[in-house]
Structure formats: structure tokens, C-alpha cells
Copies of this chain bind each other. A is one copy, B any other.
Amino acid sequence: MSRIDYQGVLDEIIDEVQSEFGKGHVASYIPALKRVPPRKFGMAAVTVDGDVFSVGDAFEAFSIQSISKVFTLSMALNAKGVALWQRVGREPSGDPFNSLVQLEHERGVPRNPFINAGALVITDCLVASTVNARRQIIDFIRRRSGNAGLCYDVEVARSEKTHGHLNAAMAYFLKSHDNLNSDVEAVLDVYFHQCAIAMSCVDLARGFLYLANGGDCPLSGVSVHERSRAKRINALMMTCGLYDSVGSFAFRVGMPAKSGVGGGIVGVIPRVLSVAVWSPELDPSGNSHVGTKALELFTTKTGMSVF
């Protein structure tokens, strides 16, 4: 594998995706996201040996949004262990990420930790098990990505809160089913902040390296998870990480990944590398349209799908 010319692959990809711009729509549910220039494009790959390759706007920070759910899942699993799975499932939902239908049918147990309702339960775990969840989360992500300068975008967080009625509805619904222990407003505050973390493609690719590397974080030298737990988080990303497009993403791209409505997607090729892409125009499922294409080209050109 080491002989793959990753930089050449990224250079080809940025050329080939140019025709894909203009086909999606920048997230508009909060003003702070709507202002992002739609044709931004960055991509970065980081090997488990530490080599970094990048192209385009790969060093520019953007709002990670739902990608934060992977970090908080790692933290909550380490805090609560498998008891966590009493409160949240591990199955794809088959419904949009913000749907309440399934949550009602299944009595307040979210299908998986990557839909909004599931992520709220995860955040509730962190609020309950830490003194200062907001501080703990940003510290965890700083250490994983080796960037001590990462921080919350408070304007985005405030915007999330102002327009976050649907997430508030979900949190109160979870509370009504006794699946949210902390104060609803406190959980929402942490949740809106974790979504508002700003990171670049390079930060994200570095930040996910522990999942490509069997749970060991090469940047901090820390073992975040034992190998089987890292593998299982990857499995969850594969079956639940791309909203209601997990099937077609696996079909086209073929790697475990997590997307956010800020236009970022981060994936891992176990034992080899992690790769992050950013392009704000979203497809109807809420995934970056150009980013998905870029990752499809990446696995095609490198021949590195998990399948």
C-alpha cells in the first residue's frame, strides 16, 4: 500500500470533481451555516504512519456538526461501557436523521448514536459523567487531532440554539421516555456546542486516525480504545454514519465514514489511513454531494475499499 501516490490521487480528484459543483444545496437551517461559500473544497488523507496529504481548502476550518457524534460516542463508551447500549440501538434507522417517528414507535430508544436523538442520549451520558462536558469534549478532540487551538464557534452554537426547536422537541421526547437524565437545557447546550466545533480537513483526518489505527491515537500516543471497540465504532459508521444514505454510500465508496451538514465527511481505511473531505453543497440526504464523489474517486483510484 505504501507505494500509492496519495498526493497525486488528491490532485486528480480536485480536478475531476469540478463538474459536480452546483448540484447540491448549502445547509440553510441556521444562518451561520448558510453564509459559507458553496464552492469550498478541501481534502486531506493521513496515514497511520503519520504522513499527511492535502489539497484545496484542507487547512480551512468549517463546522463539523454531526461528525462530532463519533468523538462523543468514543468518550461515552469509555465512560459507560456497554451499558450504553441499553439506551441507544445500533441499527440504521431507515428514516431521516431528525425523524421522531421511529423514536415514538420504539418508546424513546433511538436507533443508533448517529441520528440526532441518539447523539442527544450520548451527550446526556457525558453531561452526567463529567464535571464540565463542554470542556471535556473539546479537550478530547484537541488531543485526537493534535491541534490545541481547536475551539467552539460560539456564533454557530448560538445560531443552533436559536433555531434548534426540533432538537429541543427530541430532547423533551427522550425526557418523557426517561431516556434523558440531565436537565434538558443543559444537554442541548452541550449538544449545540459540540456541533459548532470548527475543524479543518487536516484536523479531522488526524482526529479520526485512532479509529484507523485499532484504537491507538498516534498523535497523543494514547490508547483511546482497545482494538475491538475501535473496530465496532467503524462498523457503526458503516451502517449508520451517512444519515439515510448509508447503503448507497457503502455501495459507491465502501468505507466507514461519518458526515455532517457542514459539508464534511471523514472516513477510515482500517490499518491504513483516515481521509477527510469538505464541500458545503449537500445532497437531499444531508451529505456533501461533492465530498461523496471525492471519496468515491478516492477508493476507486487507490483500490482501497474495505470490500
- Can you list 10 A-B contacts (CB < 8 A)? A90-B251, A92-B92, A94-B102, A100-B100, A100-B169, A165-B184, A169-B172, A172-B172, A235-B250, A240-B247
| Chain B CB within 10 A, most for which of A105, A169, A245, A246 | A169
Q: Tell me whether B169 and A165 are in contact (CB under 8 A).
A: no
**Minimal beta-carbon separation of A28 from chain B (angstroms):** 14
Contact with B along A222-247 (1 / 0, CB 8 A): 00000010011011101110001111
**Given A165-B175, A172-B169, A239-B247: A307 and B92 interface contact (C-beta under 8 Å):** no
Contact with B along A152-178 (1 / 0, CB 8 A): 000000000000011011111101100
Q: Does A147 contact B (CB under 8 A)?
A: no
Residues of chain B within 8 A of A247, CB atoms compared: 89-92, 112, 235-236, 239-240
Residues of chain B within 8 A of A184, CB atoms compared: 165
Cα(A168)–Cα(B171), bound, Å: 10
Q: Tell me whether B245 and A91 are in contact (CB under 8 A).
A: yes
**Given A235-B251, A306-B270, A307-B231: A246 and B101 interface contact (C-beta under 8 Å):** no
Q: Does A19 contact B (CB under 8 A)?
A: no
Q: Does A47 contact B (CB under 8 A)?
A: no
Residues of chain B within 8 A of A111, CB atoms compared: 94
Q: Does A95 contact B (CB under 8 A)?
A: yes
Q: Does A248 contact B (CB under 8 A)?
A: yes
Across the interface, name the chain B residue whose C-beta is closest to A228: B300
**Minimal beta-carbon separation of A272 from chain B (angstroms):** 12
Q: Does A42 contact B (CB under 8 A)?
A: no
A105-125 interface (Cβ within 8 A of B): 105, 111-112
Residues of chain B within 8 A of A11, CB atoms compared: none
Contact with B along A272-307 (1 / 0, CB 8 A): 000000000000000000000000000010000111
Residues of chain B within 8 A of A104, CB atoms compared: 99-101
Residues of chain B within 8 A of A89, CB atoms compared: 247
**Given A166-B176, A270-B307: A95 and B92 interface contact (C-beta under 8 Å):** no
Q: Does A256 contact B (CB under 8 A)?
A: yes
Task: Enumerate the 9 nearest inter-chain pairs by beta-carbon distance, A residue then B residue, closest first.
Answer: A94-B94, A165-B176, A91-B247, A169-B172, A169-B173, A234-B307, A166-B176, A235-B250, A168-B172
Residues of chain B within 8 A of A232, CB atoms compared: 251-252, 254, 307
